[in-house]
Structure 1
Amino acid sequence: MRPIKTTKFLSARLIFFSFVIFFLHACASKKKVTEIHAPTPLNLSEQAIFTYGQDSVIADDFQYIYLKNHKDSLDKWDEEEIEKSVQDYLDLYINFKLKVKAAYAAGFHQQPAFQQEFEKYRKQLAKPFMVENRFKEMLVKEAYDRLKEEIHASHILINVPEKTSGADTIAYFQKADSLRKLALEGRSFSMLAEKYSDDPSAEQNGGNLGYFSGLQMVYPFESVAYQTPPGSISKPVRTNFGYHVIKVHDRRPYQGKVKVAHIMIRFQNDEGENEGSKSYQKALEIYNKLQAGADWNEMTERYSEDQSTRSSGGEFPYFSAGGTLNSFEETAFRLSQVGDISKPVKTRYGWHIIKLVDRKGLEPFEMLRPLIERKIESNLQQMKVEDKTVALLKEENQYEPNNAIIRQSIDYLSATPEIAKPHRLGVLFSISDTVFAFSALEGYLEEKQITLPVDSSRAKQLYAAFEEDKILSYEESHLADKYPDYRRLAQEYKEGILLFDIMEDKVWGEASENESKLLEYYQHHQENYRWKERLDATIFEAIDEKTIQRADQIIGTQKINKRLIEEVEEKVNQESALNLQIFKDIYEEGESRSGAEEVIDQINWKVGSYVTEANDRVYKVVVHEVIPPSQKEFEEVKGRVISDLQQALDREWIVTLRSTYPVSVDKEVLTKLIQQLIAENE
């Protein structure tokens, strides 16, 4: 049944969109658009499959929308079914386009409410096609590729205090670069890290970070590490922490993740940390007992001095390279078989006996995608996506700057009164065939409510922000020229909204709100709203005849009603809820039935009591009354009358539209399209 206009307008709109999806998936406003690739187009891009009035629909566009709704069904159909499906859908699609044309003719596309709603949908549609999102997708794939490899590196950090900017950072860069030069000249990298690095751990590890893979380091650091060959030292790279000089020692395939358990013996205060110490001897004795067959969990519970894991068998969560202490990690990854146990290994916390619990490789891309996307979203600022986006768009869209006017404009933003204001029509830059003059910059600053003058640094930032805004806006406004899929999706959304609006005006509102018209339709079609013969009956479905008899004893001469049914079922079903079920209703001749109620069609339609068996159950049907055929009252069938009137109005309207905008189908193009669909499906 078609949706009916109610005061809950939004609900009706959402219901309707679920119908529109049958035609063109226009309800995607509630879904994230993830598919941006159209089905393989036919070579019919310039041929119209049908015309309506002065307009036409190209065969490729019809094939695109047809395949979106039928692609999964084609391989199940034979040639005749495919041909019938295309022809039926073409008829529906023609009707759809006629209604949309009527909406344009009536000016629905000019209404502010429509424009606001469509703009909201259009912006959502544009997101997957914008360059920023293409960069994000590239970063996701880049991160997954990096996860396949591990880097062993050391670093020296020269910390740059917060709020340090501009020329003040040069001194920190120069210090980092001087340390790099010393390392290149042969000085020990680890000694330089111990002495000069601002990373507190460098005093113990000489800057050695061990192995790590993608998403474990901040993005600029990670990128340089992956770009530096083994044995080489990078130029200083800036992160939020400061400047890093990175030495790459090795690269290896991803080792996967391991899950291990450990027994830890802490160092004693009065001993050294060597293998002659009491703590080591204790750890070695535990190891020997384990090798002799002692139970791991019992030994962990009794001896491990790691309070956080001793009660759970000493287990850690899965971790990959770079996830824990170097010596602990290296030993864990050297264990090859599940159940293998290491000799005691030293960390700064004590001696560890490590047992391999499980090992797993890199998960498939689609499984890791959500995690990678979350990590990337949290690091976008460091990845400078906006800068890369604007740079790419400048290249793609033939950006041409007028550097003289740009410099003059930036000077003016921080100007003293004697600096001349650039001419309003002075061109700052052009993108393809569009120019942006100084007047556009003025409008941008006015919109942002910027008060001039500003300092020179702020002036450069403001101009850069203006240029970025205009370049991104230009790209968004020209997406339809670049991407046929976006053009089609945007058109589907627009036409879906227009279709809803005009259906609401021409069909649904007319049928649901015009009470006199409803009554008139009901009176002229009363033959469609009649009851057939009906039974007022109660059905008992029982496990056996004794259960039926027990129910009869409880009921006796009482009149069967809802309260009595609940009482009988409760008493009879104390041992099992499946012993007895009772159904009381009015059953109409010819209506579809299921389950126990199917027994109604197996008895005589006369007042009385009937017992029968089916499907290993016993049924008793009590017919209380036989109700002869009669006319249904208007209020009983009002919902159905509304639906029928809507359909009648829709049919009449389509006849009028086809007369107003004559339709002509190109049979030759239609035949060619069907033949190609059949050929592609073989």
Structure 2
Amino acid sequence: MKNFLTVCIFALLGITNVVSQNKKDVLMTINGKPVYASEFERVYKKNLDLVQDESQKDVDGYLQLFIDYKLKIAEAQAQGLDKEEDYLSEFSKYRDQLSRNYLFEDKVAEELAMEAYQRGKEDVAASHILIRVDYEALPQDTLAAFNKIKGIRERALKGEDFAKLAKTYSEEPGAKETEGNLGYFTVFNMVYPFETAAYNTPVGEISEIVRTSFGYHIIKVSDKRERMPKISVSHIMISDKKGARDFNPEERINEIYSMLQQGENFESLAKQFSDDKNSAVMGGKLKPFTKGDLRAPEFEDAAYSLKNPGDLSKPVKTDFGWHIIRLDEKFPMETFEQQKAELEKKVNEGDRSKIVTSATNKKIKEKYGFKKENNYLPFFDTYLTDDILKRKWVMTPIPADQNKTLFVIGDKKSTYIDFAKYIEERQRTTRPYKLKETLLVDFYDEFETKELKDYFKEKLEDENEDYAAILNEYRDGLLIFDVMDKNIWQKGKNDSIGVQQYYNKTKQDYHWKQRIDATIYAATSNEFAQRVQKMLGEGKTAEDIKTALNTGNKVNVLTTPGIFEVDQRELPNNLEIKTGISNIYPSNESFIVVNINEIIGPGPKSLEDVKGKVLSSYQNDLETSWMESLHAKYTVEVNKKTLKRVKKQLK
């Protein structure tokens, strides 16, 4: 979802009562179109704390922001952005999300989330045997598959080896190698019917026959164990993806590991050397996680293998680079309330959503009334050609006398033509079907659900003023984003000549501070730092020094060559800037010596060095000119009497 906090200060998620609107509530008109005082009052109260400019916090100052906001919306509509497919799709997604707060499905979702929470306290280890048959199979094929799995189950119940039966009969890919063994899994790892059977089957027993979209299964549960709780760790990371580096990442992580084994402080080394800048400033500390939360299974496995707080892992390789991990804390299992939002999200996105949908549809039908009028199958089975199975069906006109009503929701009729249009559109994104009848049943269920929810949302906007206000703000926020993207952000981004010209005019604003070309030596003790000074004085290279001082498995010195601005964090505080070998500076429990080869004076940065900053300033300049053109294009008339009343009320 697009982030509108970068677009405008009119936040989109508050709930405020909307007072009734009449002629005297008109605060202003833009080209004759009214803007009501109630809208201004709502956004003023809600967003005042977000305004950083004190001059804009009074009503008059804020009114100018509000006018600019409404002018951008007017221009977006004038450019037809409210008719764009992307806009309509994004708005529809948000309306669906927002309406969930008012739909009946939340209670059902909460119950399923609670069930998932209780199951999620355990991991299940199981094996299974699958006989494949899909939902579109012919009845005789379905029966044959059922009878086959039934026979296998009877043999297993009589004591035949389950693994051998799986190896011989299971139609799961790879079953001959795995013998049906699934290992440990937890809630949401398997399709819901399979998961339910696994959790309901006692250890050592075999489940009833389970039907899923894959076919028929039987499950043997071999173990259940308590699920692993969240843990908190710290890490030091050396990236191997930072381009050409002046050191070997694997060698560097092994050096740091040796320093830790020698008793060096973990937090200090993380602050000084870790390439994960976000955690480095916190001494390497990461947010708590459990298995599956991170995109690095090697990292998770290594972290969970640590037994006691303070334990360190050996260097671990992941897709992000090399890590040393320290276990900080083990947490108890989270409460339902702590997990509720995440669990409900998974319920509504997974195959449990069918249960939620069915219950929600029933409630909407009860609230507004629902009546089926005609059976769709006889007509559509003939009307649809086999092209629908190739997803190439083209809708042909349905004569008026054949356009019957499918069903009625409240005061709205849904007809054969409505269903035919849905089928033509929906076929583009559907999975392949073998049978026309199966497709029709699935599409009808989807269509009925869509019509029920659309009717509920339409009525909700009429019946609930809070919902209508929030939805309208989101409409406006989307348009603001799109009109800014089209007229400012993309325009600036694609105007390389304009950016270059703007840089040429403002290059005096972009300067390097004084810099040094140097090598930084971080020693574990003052004595080793003194030896570094001495060897540098003798003309020894960085490699000579490391070879001499890092003996055996002991790392006493790390070197970091490069060009540094004088206030960069890598350099010690109060470093005396002069060429040659520096004094020794204590820093983060290390002792630093800097060998300065060259002092580079302040100077202008190239466009490549500051392209992001230049582009941002250029876009701000474009926006200023654009807003001037909008004020010239649109006539804004403020109702002074209404403004006076608003000021008095907002005091």
For the aligned pair, the TM-score class normalised by the smaller chain equals: 0.3 to 0.5
- TM-score, length-scaled by structure 2: 0.47
Q: Who wins on radius of gyration, i.e. which is larger?
A: 1
